[in-house]
A and B are shown apart, each in its own frame.
Chain A
Amino acid sequence: MSANGAVALPDPFATVDRLRTSHDRDALAALLAEQSPVYSGRGTGETEHLRGYILASFEVLGLPASALPFVVEELEIGLNPYAVAAAAKAVRGAPDPPEAITALLLDAIDRIRSRDDVVSFDRSIRPDGGASTTALMELFRTLAWLGPGAREAEAPLRAMLERRPAGFSAQVRAEIERALAAVSRRGMPTTAHCCAGQAAPIAFKPAATPPLGFDIKATELQDQDGAVFSFGDFFLGRPGVLTFFYTRCMNPNKCSLTISKLARLQQRLAREGQKDRVGIAAISYDPAFDLPCRLRAYGEGRGMAFDDRTKLLRTTGAFEPFQRWLDLGVGYGASTVNQHRLDTILLDQSANPVSTIARVQWEEDDIVNALNALH
């Protein structure tokens, strides 16, 4: 049973195998959602392995549009070699890979270099049983698959080969050479356009919330100093920026970075004279563990200056009402969160969500511009 009471499925890999056999790509993509019951009660390692197993299916089945954000997210911030390798394989099933994929693959290579490991997507092969590919090798194979469409990778690949001391094993260097040859092919058409190499702009989506049967604004919260108040008490009367985190998050590109960015946003709003006009808060996914003293230490360590407009919060009861209200992408293992996506919500003066940014890290400009549009 998971920390939020959900019951785990006995053999989720068999479920994935069945969906693979029936070529049900949409059903497989639906299983990628962090809150899917297939992950309930499992540890993070097992969860990442299962997600990787699902992602790798799309190399053969074809990558549906609904799965692409998961692939991009894994390449952008993933640290698990198996899951990142799976995302790289999934790209090879995309009919028209987005332009930014090349830059994401290069970023992933840089991140995985010191974490590489053998990977096998054949469940009949044990980890010590001769799997002959690694996460790095899969990333370079995908660059090779992209061919001249990944021409921007040419110079970085050359630099990798020339680096001394050599940063890659002989096997990986062979893959780099193959990728370099593929992306450097001349006379081949490329799909480059005006935005080649640039990250896609942050997309705000209108927020849609389901009827809950209770008033979320009355939900009780506690801040980093132990003060207790309702969600409405904090957010009503001014626009707000709401995000989610937990102090035990292991990926420095997720919660830690999110809270650091909130701190920078707070400083920027203060410089622009907007400090008192916006509420800024992050609510913990893990309220039973994230006691006020932990919230305070976590926020202060990342530059937050707490005041009556800027707080780190936890629910005094279950977190589940917020998960239901905002359909947050978070799953739970036996004791804590096993995976989560990045979710940031902009609230209007009535504390209603007006737009969301999911699965990508935002920049301060994105939030400030959106807030200005709300005023």
Chain B
Amino acid sequence: MNVDDYRKAYEAELAADAATVGATEAADSAIGHDPSDRIPALLATLGDANQSLLARIAALKAISAIRFLGVVFAPHRVAFLNILRQIAQPGTDPQLYERALAILAAEKDPDTQQRLRSGLKDPQAALVSPATALRLLSFDDHAGLADLALDVFHKAVDLATKEAALRVLATDAKSQDLFAKLLQDKSQPRSLRALSVTGLNYLNPQKFAEIAQNIVKDHGDYEDVRASALGALANTPLHHVIRDNAKFLDEIKTLGAQSPLENLRAAAGRFLTRS
């Protein structure tokens, strides 16, 4: 997703949130001093398809806050999850539907995970966009998602989906060669290369350090990719080893003092000041 699209989506979300303020305040006042007394009413509102969308979202927000009170909420947990499962069905307003899916995915609900997976394999069965499905499935890092994410990455044509797939693959040790390849390929979109900086540095800091040093020194590469690589080198566990390379250190000092590229200059400064 590019910055403009993200800004528009975020502004729309803020506007929706503002509209729920009144309903949220009503829900908050309903909570009162003893939340346990009010949870059944909030659950009833959340589960009632005849209630307004704003009231249901407000109830969900209030319940989400009460969930932090573990002992108070425990008796209502099963009822809450059952209501979410009813909401997470086609036909519910997407604003509520996606919130319910997100909570169920965070709970590692097997049926939700299975439906999200099915949607990635078969677009006709998709509950949400592939990027959202990958994000929700990645809440469980033991979901065994790597093979599916790799398949999605190769088949996807839109950047947002490819980015989401790379975020999932960043915890899969087998994917380090893919990240190395993307990072060194100047024809790849810069956002994918930036994600490859993170992914490779996480999975194989040594290999990353070798590749990243070459990228930083390559004046023909993009400034943001070079700055990302240098920024990551400042924080890699091998930082002290890289600093021992006097020739590379001199190049970074030159970049920090003379580069006309602001991001790269700043990254060089961070690298040099890291103790």
Contact = CB atoms under 8 A, between A and B. Distances in A.
A248 B144 CA distance: 13
A82 B78 CA distance: 13
A291 interface: yes
Interface string A136-172: 0000000000000000000000000000011111101
B174 A3 contact: yes
Given A42-B144, A43-B142, A293-B237, A126 B111 contact: yes
A248 B81 contact: no
A12 interface: no
Interface in A2-57: 3, 41-46, 49
A286 B174 CA distance: 12
B71 interface: yes
Contacts of A128: 82, 85-86, 89, 111
B143 A43 contact: yes
A116 B144 contact: no
Q: Which of B81, B82, B142 has the most CB of A within 10 A?
A: B142
Contacts of A3: 174
Interface in B64-88: 70-72, 74-79, 81-82, 85-86
Given A113-B74, A293-B237, A127 B142 contact: no
Nearest to B86: A128
Interface string A86-128: 0000000000000000000000000001111110000000111
A236 interface: no
B71 A167 contact: yes
A1 interface: yes
Interface string B96-124: 00000000000111110100000000000
A168 B71 CA distance: 9
Contacts of A315: none
A66 B248 CA distance: 62
Interface of chain A, helix or strand or loop or mixed?
A: loop
Interface size class of A (residues with CB under 8 A): 35 or more
A134 interface: yes
A334 B141 CA distance: 11
B219 to A, nearest CB: 31
Contacts of B109: 127
Interface of B: 36, 70-72, 74-79, 81-82, 85-86, 89, 107-111, 113, 140-148, 171-174, 203-205, 237
Interface of A: 1, 3, 41-46, 49, 82, 113-118, 126-128, 134, 165-170, 172, 248, 250, 286, 288-289, 291, 293, 333-338
21 contacts: A42-B144, A43-B143, A44-B140, A44-B144, A45-B108, A45-B110, A45-B142, A116-B74, A116-B78, A117-B78, A117-B81, A127-B110, A134-B78, A165-B71, A167-B71, A167-B74, A170-B75, A248-B141, A286-B173, A289-B171, A333-B144
